[in-house]
Amino acid sequence: MVPTPCVVIERNTVRLQDKVAIVTGGGSGIGQASALLFAREGARVAVVDRDLAAAEATVVQIKEHGGEALAFGSDVGMPGTADADAAAVRAQWGRIDVLVCAAGFSCGGTVTTTSPEDWDAVFRTNVGGTWLWARAVIPQMQQQAGGSIVTFTSQLALAGGRNNSAYVAAKGAIMSLTRTMGLDYAADGIRVNAIAPGAIDTPMLARGFLRQADPTAARETSLKRHALGRFGRAEDIAASVLHLASDASAFTTGTTMVVDGGWLAG
Ligand X SMILES: NC(=O)c1ccc[n+]([C@@H]2O[C@H](COP(=O)([O-])OP(=O)(O)OC[C@H]3O[C@@H](n4cnc5c(N)ncnc54)[C@H](O)[C@@H]3O)[C@@H](O)[C@H]2O)c1
38 vs 19: CA distance, rounded Å: 9
Kindly write out the interface string for residues 207-246 of this chain, putting x where it contacts ligand X by CB under 6 A and - elsewhere: ----------------------------------------
Q: How far is CA 143 from the centre of its chain?
A: 24
199 belongs to the binding site for ligand X (CB under 6 A)? yes
User: Considering the complex, what minimum distance in angstroms separates the CB of residue 103 from ligand X?
Assistant: 4
Which ranges constitute the DSSP H helices of the chain? 29-40, 52-64, 81-93, 116-123, 129-144, 155-159, 165-184, 203-210, 215-225, 234-245
200 vs 133: CA distance, rounded Å: 24
User: Considering the complex, what minimum distance in angstroms separates the CB of residue 130 from ligand X?
Assistant: 9
Strands 69-73 and 190-197: unpaired
28 belongs to the binding site for ligand X (CB under 6 A)? yes
* Active-site entry in 93, 119, 167, 231: 167
49 belongs to the binding site for ligand X (CB under 6 A)? yes
Applying CB under 6 A, among 27, 67, 147, 182 the residue interacting with ligand X is 27
CA distances from 144 to 148, 188, 254 (A): 11, 9, 20
User: Considering the complex, what minimum distance in angstroms separates the CB of residue 137 from ligand X?
Assistant: 15
51 belongs to the binding site for ligand X (CB under 6 A)? yes
Interacting residues with ligand X (CB under 6 A): 24-25, 27-31, 49-51, 54, 75-77, 102-105, 125, 129, 152, 154, 197, 199-200, 202-205
